[in-house]
Structure 1
């Protein structure tokens, strides 16, 4: 049962995430079931991770076949799946590149920070609102003060500029700048796309001063936006790209790819990872890439994402002011800070979404989401919004008037 598993969790798991609402026990495609047997349409996919949904047969077959052959090698030796995956990613990028494999997006960004230090410079420019991870280096370039403050002092020499402000970025970059780190779309800040031309302006600013341009595509990469990588739609090539999340289809993998000269800055002994690029996770990643091609999921994400966007707008749900994002990566915009209540009401209606900000609800479903799933969510959205708004209003009324004192509480003992 959900309640039992949540109580047991509280006894043994650190309180870093807050208490979950349910315990998920199985999944299939874009649907999951909780410990009480209730079914949900999964519109968050483990935060943009499960691009092929849950228990996809291609991923399962690849993992089982690899485990039957060779499970782990470390990076003291070549393993074929890692080599094939590096070749495939570099081919998809269309560049001359070199890959370093690790286990997460934060680790990929740590690698990119180390690459930037090998330029002989140490200043990093990043965007306000950006999220690059929670390890100490990645946290240092995360433009969210509330996440950084408890762990300061962090890496020195990091400057933040307003996201999307090309003039501010150009003014900040100088001969001291080692690298500019950008998300093509701010993910954890609420799925906020960069303005047209912003990435190109960043490329020009870096070129003018010899700085590296790093694109964090941990959340936006691997088909999420309807393209393999979000930056490809802008025609801008970075010096370094970081990937994770959707690449493994649910298995932990990250990669930092240095393009051109940036791929040669790290030297033997500069960096390492015991588990990074292991044969099992690389086999899973190859299966993900093959399946995206075989099932036409890039086009599917673009088309179905457009249908989802249009459906949300047409639903005309109370308190919903718009929708932003691209492909199957959207944020529902609200006119008041009741996103947490929307998350709860959606879950009660059988849909898993994420209150990424007080007034924004993130949708990052599996790329195998079906039109029927979209129709079901769009049909339910007005009722979800109504329930969420009423719950939020009740909370506001309670906060304004204060809780009622019970007769028991008002008694004075003799």
Structure 2
């Protein structure tokens, strides 16, 4: 049972919502306030670059909870309200509507914001230039795609490529500019990334790899022109910038809460300030096997971390075990990954199925499974994901042989480590 009378959670994304769920699991009586700037009730951000860009899509279908749930669980939901200041000494927050709210425990689920193109590139205030982070962003982009014939996307990460697939489904011509030598450098192994690049090429997307933008301008007719480092100029009706995110730390920093590429927390979600916690992709936390603080930008992490931190804010003491995973739907294919890709990857083994599905196993020099990725191989990726962080005491042949089912192999290995 919690010793807190009032737990306030700032941020209404999946981390904030999950924190509220975690609090209520531990304490059925404690007062909970969930407050955020968004004008919409908590929704699934993973839908924004997937389902929400379809012409017929509606935001209501992306809702994470029915409105009745908040009443049933006695959670006060305050929307469209910005937090101006946190007074950690008085344990209170000041809102944009002039209200002061006292807390006994505070959870910061501040999230991230889309990284913008640098102003040095020129004309970047155009309404034809979009980022995709919020429901408002998705609704604006959905409408803009209705009237577009040519789209340029800056950044070949998951968001950019999902937008590319959605645009091609509408028959829009798509160019993707990527500064790196390949797509999905942070998310996928080279084999998986190359296959995804081929999927886009087969569907008519033109990838420009190893290219940076020299300048951006808008013509009198309203089109946007990008001048690239190789001298090429691309003209389009619309541009989407998907070059990563920046953690929202200003509020925490102004309150004296430690920040280092996110709000710094320990394994329990505690900040350096008493009774203040942080969760989700705006939190920088210790990860087992890593010698530095890390921010994880996946839906699954935000959900799991939020719930764990909420439970701890309510009086439980559970150390968070990071579970990094992602999924992405592009065209008719499901792309999945579990684990983190770092420099210590020593070898990659690939199991390729006749159907065209595949699974990649990323191992370090000690045969510890660091990550598993796949295309159209959900059962295998989900099964092998349970072994991430474990030494794989099976042969390369067993891993690569499509005729040897992976689930029994996983069960055998799990028995050895249990």
User: By the TM > 0.5 criterion, same fold?
Assistant: no
More strand by percentage = 2
Query: Which TM-score applies when normalising by structure 1?
Result: 0.30
Query: Which TM-score applies when normalising by structure 2?
Result: 0.30
